[in-house]
Structure 1
Amino acid sequence: MTLNADMVRSPYVVEFTALEEEVAALRRGVRTHLEGWGLRCFVDEAQLCVSELVANVISHVGVGTPTTLSVLMNGTFLRIEVRDPDSRALPTLVAAEVEAEGGRGMALVAAVTDRWGVSLLGDGKVTWCELATGLASQGEQDGGPRVIRTEAMRGLYGIVGEEQVGRRVGLVGALKGEEAAIHIITDLLHWLSAHGRDVDEVLDRAQVRFETEAHRTSWE
Structure 2
Amino acid sequence: MTLTVRLLAVPQAAPMVRHAVREHLGPDGHPDAELCVTELLANVIAHVGPGTPVTLRVTGRATRTRVELTDPAPGVRPVPRCADEGDESGRGLALVDALAVRWGVTHGPGSKTVWCEF
* 2:52 corresponding residue in structure 1: 65
Q: For each residue in 1:71-113, what CA deviation from the matched residue of structure 2 results, as whole angstroms up to 9, or x when unmatched?
A: 0029x63100000000011111111011211011100000001
Number of residue pairs aligned between Structure 1 and Structure 2: 117
* 1:110 corresponding residue in structure 2: 97
Q: Tell me the TM-score normalized by structure 2.
A: 0.94
Name the amino acid aligned to 2:39: E
Say which structure, 1 or 2, has more relative contact order (CA 8 Å, 6+ apart): 2
Name the amino acid aligned to 2:2: P
Q: For each residue in 1:35-89, what CA deviation from the matched residue of structure 2 results, as whole angstroms up to 9, or x when unmatched?
A: 1xx642x1x1011011000000000011100000000029x63100000000011
* 1:91 corresponding residue in structure 2: 78
Q: Secondary structure at the match of 1:17?
A: strand
Deviation >4 Å, runs of 4+: none
Within a 5 Å distance, the mapping from 1:1-220 to structure 2 comes to 10-35=1-26, 39-40=28-29, 42=30, 44-73=31-60, 77-131=64-118
RMSD: 1.4
- The 2-side partners of 1:34 and 1:90 are apart by 28
- The 2-side partners of 1:73 and 1:28 are apart by 16
Q: Secondary structure at the match of 2:105?
A: strand
- Structure 1 unaligned regions, length at least 5: 1-9, 132-220
Name the amino acid aligned to 1:21: Q
- Structure 2 unaligned regions, length at least 5: none
Name the amino acid aligned to 1:95: C
- The 1-side partners of 2:64 and 2:115 are apart by 12
Q: For each residue in 1:111-164, what CA deviation from the matched residue of structure 2 results, as whole angstroms up to 9, or x when unmatched?
A: 001100000111210000001xxxxxxxxxxxxxxxxxxxxxxxxxxxxxxxxx
- The 1-side partners of 2:16 and 2:71 are apart by 18
Q: Secondary structure at the match of 1:110?
A: helix
